[in-house]
Chains A and B, each alone.
Chain A
């Protein structure tokens, strides 16, 4: 049952929110021990919230567009009084004193937070194996990863634990796991969704977005959470244009990005899915051509300088003073260093080291400064492409889900799984992944639709069309 169908039924009293929640909690109980999608299942509070929704309906009130719909929340989204860990020992047991804007908007729309989902520690990773609390497994094949970093949210939707989930996407952390788990994932335009209450990783790249089983449900959740928020100074002020509900692509100009489709190591089935989707769009009346966005090939290198640099600064706040873990030392500096050594996992330390190095005296211009200039070039190249095309098309990830442990000893190989998603974050643009059949080992494949800043309406039209064409 889609989220929209659940909300429609709950709003008119055909179904109780409580029965919806109980059904999903039963699904969680049955398969969560095997998959570990959640750091915390919020059973009691979900039931209480559902009862409040049902009481509102009984009083003749409308609880809102997400009435009674369970929503899984990535465990880097703050909810007042609910443990929020970022899957890190350094925040274990921390209860935020405030609630993220997106979580508040879900609650205000009648939605029901059902749990906090597992992630790569501080959202740094592409497999959800970098969690201090154990890896999440892919519902399609539990010997494989769900992708990452929002692997818990992707797995929760794919396993039927919740019809909707929220994640965050800094270099592909919504889209890549959505593709690997066979669900829809959206990275909205930078600034479109408030980051207030999202624990920061790389502030100029981070963006919150929805996971859903269908494009329409993803639109429902995005329209609930987006829009200006005075609590986030990078929030866009103009009101969002409605996403509409038609899959009509006639007359749209769609470009297949060569540099993101001909990447090294791409599986032939993944490339074939993009070509098949493109052919279908052409039959549906779109104008499809290949297009070059040359600087995309430098996206990965630029990202792995910029994101760690911003992370090394953002994560300086975990110093054992105001929240989370403290390991005692003879003086403050020793306390800081011992706390951070004990609290952070290997990947987080690696990125803090990389970022600190890229920002340090003597290397700033060569690494961080160069990467920032590459970012400008990528933005210019996309602008040129969008003069001739309304949206762009590419694979979401070069491969289907890989086995647990396959890339944990080789950080660079892991980073390469983000190669198709990173340019969108560097440019601050929007992108969506839509499941499109299966590839290697009969595992889900995702096709990515990219759009310029604020291009979500066209992007969703194409995504709806691709969903209708999917095998």
Chain B
């Protein structure tokens, strides 16, 4: 497995991550991520056939609380922190009509 990141790779990942990177950043991150991923080859190269993955250190599953009606965050207080709000809702730029 090659860990060398091309410009296209970096731009693809930046798009997935919704980061508008400058040309300089694409260049620099490409080099730095390559170095970091080279270091990670020690893990990528291990034979771990049959070892189950650990996503979480605690053996807790389906933790539930009683389904009771309780006060939640105050809507006005929350919306007061939003960049834009209108009629008790968050306001965002146009979504419908985007291509494709």
Contacts and interface: CB of A to CB of B under 8 A. Distances in A.
A356 B9 CA distance: 11
Q: State the main secondary structure of chain B at its contact with A.
A: loop
Contacts of B52: 373, 376
Nearest to B63: A233
Contacts of B63: 233-234
Interface stretch (A63-71, A158-166, A278-286, A364-372): A364-372
A204 B57 contact: yes
A372 B33 contact: no
Nearest to B84: A326
Nearest to B64: A233
B53 interface: yes
Contacts of A349: 19, 21, 25, 29
B92 interface: yes
Contacts of A322: 78, 81-82, 90
A336 B18 CA distance: 6
Interface of A: 94-95, 97-98, 190-191, 204, 230, 233-234, 236, 297-298, 300-302, 304-305, 312, 316, 319-326, 328-338, 340-341, 344, 346, 349-350, 352-354, 356-357, 360, 366-367, 369-377, 379, 411-412, 415, 426-429, 453
Interface of B: 1, 5, 9-10, 13-22, 25, 29, 32-33, 35-37, 39-40, 42-44, 46, 48, 51-58, 60, 63, 65, 73-74, 77-78, 81-84, 90, 92-95, 98
Contact of B48 (A325, A337, A374): A374
B93 A335 contact: yes
Nearest to B25: A349
Contact of B95 (A332, A338, A344): A332
A337 B36 contact: no
Among A191, A323, A415, A428, chain B packs the most CB atoms within 10 A around the CB of A323
A44 to B, nearest CB: 21
A327 to B, nearest CB: 9
B93 A236 contact: no
Given A354-B36, A356-B17, A372 B65 contact: no
